[in-house]
Amino acid sequence: MIDQELVDLLKERYQIVFKNSNLLQAALTHSSYANEHRELHLSDYERLEFLGDAVLELNVSEYIYKKFAQLSEGQLTKLRADIVCTASFSEFSREVGFPKYIRLGNGEEKAGARNRDTLLEDVFEAFNGALYLDQGNEAVVKFLRQTVYNHIDAGEFSDENDFKTELQEELQSQGDVVIDYLVIGESTIEDNLSFTVQLIVNGTRLTTGTGHSKKAAEQQAAHRQLLKLRLDK
């Protein structure tokens, strides 16, 4: 039932072989697929996502607690929030290559759910929940070293200002706004992936930002717009 390609990918790239392949299968099964195939009595990923969410929260907390002995509780909390969020987890999900293997119902497939950040976040959490149940936390830590901790070590997350939130608060203080970040460029130079996004407020294209993740690019675009707003005052 599980795509052999995914089984091979996990084994080759992460040295992960599930003992109970039902857990892996459930982690990649959206409820819409389980509902469309009731006769198969499939489990979807929702309960695993519940568990995986807490598995990730603890492991990320422990990693940054130990790595950044100089950070205060407040700084650690900000840093964790920057790592444990939809934008990051959906990126990790893409990086591992999960999107292709998610089992979706027809309706959700047509609605573009396969590339929806919240769904990709769910799958990343569910996978970690499944791995935790199948092989314990040490296996999770090993997997996170290759998928999350390496990004933390690379300094991609911040315990400081969240420019997107700051910008949103500033713009909303003047009334309702619709804020969007549109990916307008993506390039790979010698294995270094880079994104360019554009900030769009109420349909008007404003600043752009570039970074190694969409999130970093969005932060840069938001930061630039904040600086412009302050200069204009």
Binding residues for a copy of itself, rule: CB under 8 A, are 46-47, 49-51, 53-55, 57-58, 60-62, 65, 71-73, 76-77, 80, 137
- Cβ distance to a copy of itself smaller for residue 79 or 113: 79
* Sheet order of strands, 192-201 included: 179-189, 192-201, 204-211
- Residue 47 beta carbon to a copy of itself: minimum distance, rounded to whole angstroms: 5
- Residue 57 beta carbon to a copy of itself: minimum distance, rounded to whole angstroms: 5
Which of the following is catalytic: 44, 108, 121, 125?
125
- Residue 129 beta carbon to a copy of itself: minimum distance, rounded to whole angstroms: 8
- Cβ distance to a copy of itself smaller for residue 159 or 162: 159
Which of the following is catalytic: 53, 82, 121, 218?
53
- Residue 74 beta carbon to a copy of itself: minimum distance, rounded to whole angstroms: 8
Which residues are known binding-site members? Answer: 49, 122, 125
Catalytic-residue membership of 162: no
CA pair distance 214, 185, nearest whole angstrom: 10
Helices vs strands, H then E, count in the chain: 12, 3
Which residues are known binding-site members for Mg(2+)? Answer: 49, 122, 125
CA pair distance 230, 101, nearest whole angstrom: 46
Catalytic-residue membership of 117: no
**Of the candidates 158, 137, 115, the residue with the CA atom closest to the CA atom of residue 51:** 137
- Cβ distance to a copy of itself smaller for residue 157 or 195: 157
Alpha-carbon distances of 60 from 65, 149, 152, rounded to whole Å = 8, 8, 9
113 contacts: CB under 8 Å, gap ≥ 6: 30, 32, 104, 119
CA pair distance 88, 72, nearest whole angstrom: 22
- Cβ distance to a copy of itself smaller for residue 25 or 219: 25
Active-site positions? 53, 125
